[in-house]
Amino acid sequence: MEKKVMKKIKIEIQAGQATPAPPVGTVLGPVGINLQEFCSQFNEKTKDKMGDILPVEITVYEDRSFNFVVKTPPTPFLIKKFAKIKTASAKGANEVVATLSKEDIKAIAEIKMPDLNAYDLENAIKIVTGTATNMGIAIKGVTDTEMAEQAEQARLEEIEMAKREAELEKMESELAEEVEPEVLTEKETDEEETDEEEKEETKNKEEEKKE
């Protein structure tokens, strides 16, 4: 009799280093499977890929038994690994942070083929190239010239934008100074009131003399 599936879970785990602690324990603990058994099976199955981050699809059955399928590493992870960088560009193709060869892209595509929605290796290479470009990774002889020109254009546009913002701030500051009302200090106000009182007193004295 076929087991009834209770839940399917997807999680990314570092190859060969799964433990019952978070995040594995946090995700799988609530479904009641034997965490130590899962970690042992996963680590044994992935020990040859140490250092890679691997997506895992876990099927949990009603009797708390399980099985799992390990997928290929995420494409961005592989691209950063081959490019020897920790983070991709925050500006996408407008900032080149590394360069890969066509051979590197082909190798990544070959690794990803089982999990990519690609009909053949050529199509897989196009998918990986697109992902790399969006991460700011240039492909030597394919996208490097185009991305360099795009990055330079973006840099010039940023400089021009910074100039415009500086000019706008300057204009706003000058305008504020022109329309700012004169504000008298407490001392200046007191002095004006004293002058008015003295003038009034002098005027009264002159009128008394005339009388």
Residues 38 and 98 in one domain: no
Residues 155 and 107 in one domain: yes
pTM of the model: 0.67
Using one digit for the tens of pLDDT, what is the confidence trace for 4-36? 999 999 999 999 999 999 989 999 999 999 999
Residues 65 and 98 in one domain: no
Residues 25 and 87 in one domain: no
Using one digit for the tens of pLDDT, what is the confidence trace for 84-124? 999 999 888 888 899 999 999 999 999 999 998 888 999 99
Asked if residue 95 belongs to a domain, the reply is yes
Number of domains in the chain: 2
Domain residues for the domain of 148 are 73-180
Compute the average pLDDT of residues 138-148.
83
Q: Which amino acid is at 53?
A: I
Q: What is the CATH number of the domain that holds 175?
A: 1.10.10.250
